[in-house]
Amino acid sequence: MPWLRRNSRLVRRLVLRLAILVIALPLIAVAILNLWQLSARRRIGRTLKVVRSLEQRRASTEEVKRELARLGVGTAPECAQDRCTFQFTLDHPDFEGDSWQRWMLLRMMDDPMHAVVEGIGFRPVRLVAAVVTEDGKTQRTSVGLYVGVSPLLVAGRRMARFLPVLSDNPALHAHPDYWVRRRPHLKTPGGGEGVSVEITPDASQEAMGYSWDYDLACITSWGGCGSVDRLMPGAARLASLTQSSDDYKYGSCSVRHMVRDSEIVLLATVDAVEPYRGTWEKLTEQIVRYRLDEIISNRRNQKVEVHRVRQFVRKGGFNADPFRPGLSREIFRPGRHLVLFFQAMPPPLDFDCSVMPADPQLLQVVRQEIIKAGDAPK
């Protein structure tokens, strides 16, 4: 064509520029997505650092309010009596309600194309966190990090006074100050896996550090992380730690942890045990009548009544009779002195350990642990 011959140089320039544009646009889009993802990673990293600091220094309620407001996640706490709970969620991408952007994102992540999108470093992320203050001081925190879609990786960490396990759990014997739980097969679209660490204030500094060990590169890395062990490597490292050697035990019951987890600790004498009524194959209770000898610890100055106590018992338990249904006739014989631990959650999480014979050595350890915890009566 005459026109093309006359303007061949112009045509070549247009074709070259169009080719450059076709190549550059996807690269620019990838760069923008990665910068967006990096900003989310940095924000989540700052948030985890702040929540960890609040826990470590036992920040006041007012400090918690100020720090969360600086992060842009300031929220009105839910307060009841002397306890306040601050809960918040960070979402990336953060699309409100049923916006068209949110609709497009969900469609994209349901489509096989999501593998390509995640492969270049873009994936949804959610951080759910809570800070709980009691008596004006931070007592507990929890965080949960959700990364990706297929697979979905979930890594959680919770500080708690109570470990939700019974005294016969093997994990509690090996690591009495923390518990690592794994969920290898999440029932979510596309599958996934999860891990959670529950840890108590008695854990070593090394264990505390591992419990906060998240690899946030999983948020931005091309190809992502294929397992929760990469997202939370500290959970795997916790398995190599062992309990401290000065943790006095009654059977497999930790005196230190019962002191820590109990609102009230008493020294009492058995007066009488009422007949057992219940199904021996299930957790039941039996009434024991005590005479109060001493209030060893009472954190909240609650009213103490031991005239008629419901004692939990199960077949094969430490305090169960080995030959007939009901409580042990040896431990609960009239006139015997016992240490009673009353926990805040009924039934107690460690009900097998809630009664221990008050022999001199055990009683001495109980008093020492109470002094260490600062719970001795003033």
Q: State whether 306 and 157 are in the same domain.
A: no
Q: Are residues 202 and 284 in the same domain?
A: no
Task: Supply the CATH number for residue 339's domain.
Answer: 2.40.50.120
Q: Structure tokens of 338?
A: 């016992």
> Looking at the DSSP assignment, which residues form a beta bridge with residue 285?
312
Q: Are strands 337-343 and 178-183 parallel, antiparallel or unpaired?
A: unpaired
Does residue 176 share a domain with residue 64?
A: yes
Which of 214, 240, 266 corresponds to the end of one domain? 240
Statement to judge: residues 33 and 172 lie in one domain: yes
Residues 45 and 244: their CA atoms lie apart, in Å, by 31
Last residue of a domain, which of 216, 240, 264? 240
Q: Looking at the domain assignment, is residue 378 inside a domain?
A: no
Quick one: 223 and 265 in the same domain?
A: no
Please report, in tens digits, the pLDDT of each residue of the chain (378 residues total): 565 565 666 656 776 777 776 676 667 766 777 788 888 889 999 999 999 999 999 999 999 999 998 888 877 888 888 889 999 999 887 655 555 455 555 555 555 566 666 666 678 889 999 999 988 899 889 999 998 876 788 899 998 776 654 445 556 666 777 888 888 777 776 678 889 998 888 788 888 999 999 999 888 888 778 788 889 999 888 877 765 556 677 766 778 878 888 889 999 999 999 988 877 777 788 899 999 999 999 888 888 888 899 888 887 777 888 788 888 888 899 999 999 998 766 555 556 788 888 888 889 889 988 888 776 665
Q: Do 19 and 59 belong together in one domain? A: yes
Report how many domains make up the chain.
Answer: 2
Mark whether 82 and 225 lie in a shared domain.
yes
Domain match, 232 and 298 both: no
Same domain, 234 and 256: no
Structure tokens at 145: 């990090």
Helices 61-71 and 8-56: crossing angle, nearest 10°? 180
Sign of the dihedral defined by the CA atoms of residues 246, 248, 254, 260, in that order: negative
Of the candidates 191, 222, 240, which is a domain's last residue? Answer: 240
CA atoms within 13 A on the CB side of 303: 2
Cα separation, 32 vs 84, in Å, equals: 40
Domain with 311, as residue range(s), is 249-373
Do 335 and 259 share a domain, yes or no? Answer: yes
**Planar angle of CA 293, 294, 297, nearest 5 degrees:** 150
**What DSSP designation does 58 have?**
T
**233 and 292 within one domain:** no
